[in-house]
Chain A
Amino acid sequence: MTWTFEEMDRMFHPRVVAVVGDKKDRDYMWLRSVSTLKGKVYSVQVNPEEAANIVAMGFPNYSSLLDIPEPVDYVIVAVPRHVAPRVLEDAIRKGVNGVMFFTAGFAETGEPEGIRLQQVLTDMARKARMKIVGPNCMGLFNPRWGLRHSPEQYYDDGGPVGFISQSGTHATFFSLVGYQHGVKISKSASMGNGIILHADDYLDYLGQDPQTQVIAMYLEGVPNARRLFHLMQEIGQRKPIVVWKGGQTSEGARAVQSHTASLAASTALWQAAVRQANALWADSFDETLDLVKALCFLKEPVGPRLGLVAMTGGQSVVITDAFAKAGLQVPLLTPRSYQELATFYSTIGGSYRNPMDMTPTSRNLDMVRRVLDILARDDNIDAICYEFNMGFSAREGMVERLVDLLGEFREAYPRPFLCVLSAVHREAEAVGVRQALAQRGVPAYPSFQRAGNAFRKVWDYYRERRERGATRPAPAPAGPVRPG
């Protein structure tokens, strides 16, 4: 069964949402999550005590979906599993656009009753051509529309990142943690057992969604792996796709079975599919976020040659190792750059071969900008990474000025610019700096290794895309950096 863009899009933009079975035990999290909806929210709850609380919260409550006095687009179901088929029956009769089952206890339990009930839901939905999100999931998140699956998620705001997840936890935390890094969601789907809508259906939709420019997926096992693969190949030429695959070990595959009741294909084949589709492979939550952040913030890379700026000699050595180990280059600069640097760079304590060791000059912001501008003009350099070291830079109230300077440089420099935020002993302050940099479009990584890895994978993606003859024109050759 495939779905049109319009059918899926309507489900992500419901004008009327009904929440069935929310309750005090879970602090009415579903009603609170959708209270921000750009549309109307109804509750369906038969328990009089619960109903009274819900009405007191300001939500109209009915004892059946069928009693709601207007058409309903999206139903959030949080009832015990044995009631689920009856709710679905009502939803089908009501003619709703889509149904999300938070309800769990189906095939993922591996026990006969769960498997039977899941089959009942599947058969009913197929027959009625009804879109089902889940069961055993957190459902959809469209922040601009105020459709959420956690009261902690943001709304009236959104970004370019589409996220598809076979785990509700990863979907929730990717949105919340991502936000702390300046990574905002366009649309996300926690799909659970995926009895009707699966990863391929959501990918098909996000591929066509104009608000989505970067896609990340947390996958465990996919029944329509072939269709997913073909969609990845097609969409990956336009929008980068990050794949984080759970269940890579045989132990992990067993956990997959009891999580979403899906069969995990071998990791080697997933890696093959990812390479053939020119998607980006991620091994963890952190790496997924690192890559998505780079894809959102970095200007398109044109080459693997880094100009590195580090605060001391020791940092210069290890940042170079980290980038070289990631398969990137740290070349010497052009003679012209060295001539310019020699006019003002103190050779005592610092070195300016590449990396630029800022030891003697790190507190002189004019010097920082001069060094960055020289790197920007250098023909041997394709991208710049700056070490923002909290141990040195957090003094003398220079943090804000340095953030502004780096933000301005990022605007002016036509190629990728990234930061490593060495928090050292000032971790708490570093969080604010990271967010301030993110607001200026500068991705900040917590280590040289993570910065090097993220840049390498993003560079590989764009290089491969260009070599495969994508339509996007090659960026113009680097000119002089505009002042300010």
Chain B
Amino acid sequence: MSTQGLLDTLRREGRTILTEVEAKEFLAPTGIPIVPTRLARSQREAVRIARELGWPVVLKVVSPDIVHKSDIGGVKVGLTSASAVARAYREIMQAVRTHAPQARLHGVSVQKMAPPGREVIIGAGKDPQFGHYVMFGLGGIFVEVLKDVAFRLVPLTPRDARQMIREIRGFPLLEGQRGQPPADLTALEQALLGLSAFLEAHPEVQEVDLNPVFAYPQGCVAVDVRVVVEGGALASSAPSGGTP
């Protein structure tokens, strides 16, 4: 679906939060590597996609009405066979019927499990005074507890991207400790610049979360993403969370 087509759909359906599958497709122009994720509408389709992507895979429920997917049993990880995928699909469907019978259901997303890397978070938001900004930090407790994040206003220069990564206190962890090779800092800088350029072209974006992004010695990949756009005619005012 084209970007405009997607925005039209959102407007028609009165929503501002993209589903995971929509968000990943929407962010493709950023050039940020994102774990391939496809929508399956049936058990058979889920198995076929899993075979194409390679093992192990993760299945997640896709519904604009279900925000906390794992709370209702809508996420199944570490699936290594067709039978496991089929069973997971049925269990997710059962969970939705039990816990969220009214939810609009797009299907189930199938994605390959990314090998673990150093977790970072890349985000963006829109401030009423300063406009779009980009955020960078280490994932997990670093962002949640220590608030160890750096901000820059869009547009970022390459120098801004370089400096904001080095500005966080946890930066030495990305350089590699105890014989660990350094994370691919160039790839992270490119991701920040790609997101900045994307935001310049998309004033409607209110919030972006790429969390986590796995940083490897070579390259990086965004595992989960979240996108919120402005309500526009729907005039959804207060954006939720994500503010610095």
Residues of A within 8 A of B (CB): 221-223, 225-226, 229, 263, 265-266, 268-269, 271-273, 275-276, 468
Q: Known contacts being A229-B153, A276-B153, is A269 close to B159, with CB within 8 Å?
A: no
Within 8 A of A (CB), among B136-170: 149-153, 157, 159-160, 163, 167
Closest to A267 in B: B244
Closest to A273 in B: B153
Do the beta carbons of B159 and A222 come within 8 Å of each other? no
Pick the residue among B127, B129, B244 that contacts A223 (CB under 8 A): B129
Do the beta carbons of B160 and A269 come within 8 Å of each other? no
Answer whether residue B133 sits at the interface, using C-beta atoms and an 8 A cutoff: yes
Do the beta carbons of B130 and A225 come within 8 Å of each other? yes
Within 8 A of A (CB), among B47-92: none
- B151 contact set on A, CB distance < 8 A: 268-269, 271-272
- B127 contact set on A, CB distance < 8 A: 225, 265-266, 269
For this complex, 20 residue pairs linking A to B, each with C-beta atoms less than 8 Å apart, are A222-B129, A225-B127, A225-B131, A226-B129, A226-B131, A229-B153, A265-B128, A265-B129, A268-B149, A268-B151, A269-B130, A269-B133, A269-B244, A272-B150, A272-B151, A272-B153, A273-B130, A275-B152, A275-B163, A468-B159
Answer whether residue B42 sits at the interface, using C-beta atoms and an 8 A cutoff: no
Query: CA A456 – CA B40 in complex, angstroms?
Result: 57
How many residue pairs at the A-B interface have CB separations less than 8 Å? 47
Closest to B157 in A: A276
Residues of B within 8 A of A (CB): 127-131, 133, 149-153, 157, 159-160, 163, 167, 243-244
Closest to A268 in B: B244
- A268 contact set on B, CB distance < 8 A: 149, 151, 244
- B244 contact set on A, CB distance < 8 A: 266, 268-269
Closest to A271 in B: B151
- A276 contact set on B, CB distance < 8 A: 152-153, 157, 160
Closest to A468 in B: B159
Query: CA A275 – CA B153 in complex, angstroms?
Result: 10
Query: CA A276 – CA B130 in complex, angstroms?
Result: 13
Name the distance in Å between A193's Cβ and chain B's nearest Cβ. Answer: 16
Query: CA A191 – CA B44 in complex, angstroms?
Result: 68
Q: Can you list the 5 inter-chain pairs with the closest CB atoms, starting with the nearest?
A: A268-B244, A225-B129, A272-B151, A265-B129, A266-B244
- A265 contact set on B, CB distance < 8 A: 127-130
- Please give 7 more A-B residue pairs, beta carbons under 8 A apart, in addition to A266-B243, A271-B151: A229-B153, A265-B127, A265-B129, A268-B149, A268-B244, A275-B163, A468-B159
Query: CA A269 – CA B129 in complex, angstroms?
Result: 10
- A275 contact set on B, CB distance < 8 A: 152, 163, 167
Query: CA A468 – CA B167 in complex, angstroms?
Result: 18
Query: CA A196 – CA B150 in complex, angstroms?
Result: 33
Q: Known contacts being A268-B244, A271-B151, is A221 close to B129, with CB within 8 Å?
A: yes
Query: CA A51 – CA B109 in complex, angstroms?
Result: 82
Closest to A226 in B: B131
Name the distance in Å between A92's Cβ and chain B's nearest Cβ. Answer: 30
The main secondary structure of chain A at its interface with chain B is helix
Do the beta carbons of B128 and A272 come within 8 Å of each other? no
- B159 contact set on A, CB distance < 8 A: 468
Query: CA A265 – CA B130 in complex, angstroms?
Result: 8
Closest to B160 in A: A276
Name the distance in Å between B92's Cβ and chain A's nearest Cβ. Answer: 38
Query: CA A225 – CA B153 in complex, angstroms?
Result: 11
Query: CA A322 – CA B191 in complex, angstroms?
Result: 38
Query: CA A121 – CA B95 in complex, angstroms?
Result: 61
Query: CA A223 – CA B131 in complex, angstroms?
Result: 11
Query: CA A180 – CA B243 in complex, angstroms?
Result: 42
Name the distance in Å between A455's Cβ and chain B's nearest Cβ. Answer: 21
Query: CA A457 – CA B167 in complex, angstroms?
Result: 16
Query: CA A159 – CA B140 in complex, angstroms?
Result: 51
Name the distance in Å between A257's Cβ and chain B's nearest Cβ. Answer: 14
- B133 contact set on A, CB distance < 8 A: 269, 272
Query: CA A466 – CA B159 in complex, angstroms?
Result: 13
Closest to B243 in A: A266
- A271 contact set on B, CB distance < 8 A: 151
Query: CA A222 – CA B129 in complex, angstroms?
Result: 7
Residue with the highest number of chain B CB atoms closer than 10 Å, among A223, A265, A468: A265
Name the distance in Å between A318's Cβ and chain B's nearest Cβ. Answer: 26
Query: CA A263 – CA B127 in complex, angstroms?
Result: 11
Name the distance in Å between B137's Cβ and chain A's nearest Cβ. Answer: 11
Residue with the highest number of chain A CB atoms closer than 10 Å, among B131, B149, B153: B153
Residue with the highest number of chain B CB atoms closer than 10 Å, among A223, A229, A263, A269: A269
Closest to A221 in B: B129
- B149 contact set on A, CB distance < 8 A: 268
Query: CA A225 – CA B157 in complex, angstroms?
Result: 19
- A266 contact set on B, CB distance < 8 A: 127, 243-244
Q: Known contacts being A266-B244, A269-B244, A468-B159, is A226 close to B130, with CB within 8 Å?
A: yes
Query: CA A223 – CA B153 in complex, angstroms?
Result: 16
Query: CA A266 – CA B133 in complex, angstroms?
Result: 12
- B150 contact set on A, CB distance < 8 A: 272
Closest to A277 in B: B153
Closest to B133 in A: A269
Residue with the highest number of chain B CB atoms closer than 10 Å, among A226, A272, A468: A272
Name the distance in Å between A469's Cβ and chain B's nearest Cβ. Answer: 10
- A229 contact set on B, CB distance < 8 A: 130, 153
Closest to B152 in A: A272
Query: CA A221 – CA B127 in complex, angstroms?
Result: 13
Name the distance in Å between A436's Cβ and chain B's nearest Cβ. Answer: 41
Query: CA A269 – CA B244 in complex, angstroms?
Result: 7
Residue with the highest number of chain A CB atoms closer than 10 Å, among B131, B149, B244: B244
Query: CA A268 – CA B159 in complex, angstroms?
Result: 18
- A273 contact set on B, CB distance < 8 A: 130, 153
Query: CA A121 – CA B179 in complex, angstroms?
Result: 66
Do the beta carbons of A263 and B152 come within 8 Å of each other? no
Closest to A275 in B: B163
- A272 contact set on B, CB distance < 8 A: 133, 150-153
Query: CA A273 – CA B133 in complex, angstroms?
Result: 10
Do the beta carbons of A263 and B129 come within 8 Å of each other? yes
Query: CA A4 – CA B149 in complex, angstroms?
Result: 40
Query: CA A222 – CA B153 in complex, angstroms?
Result: 15
Query: CA A226 – CA B129 in complex, angstroms?
Result: 7
Query: CA A226 – CA B152 in complex, angstroms?
Result: 13
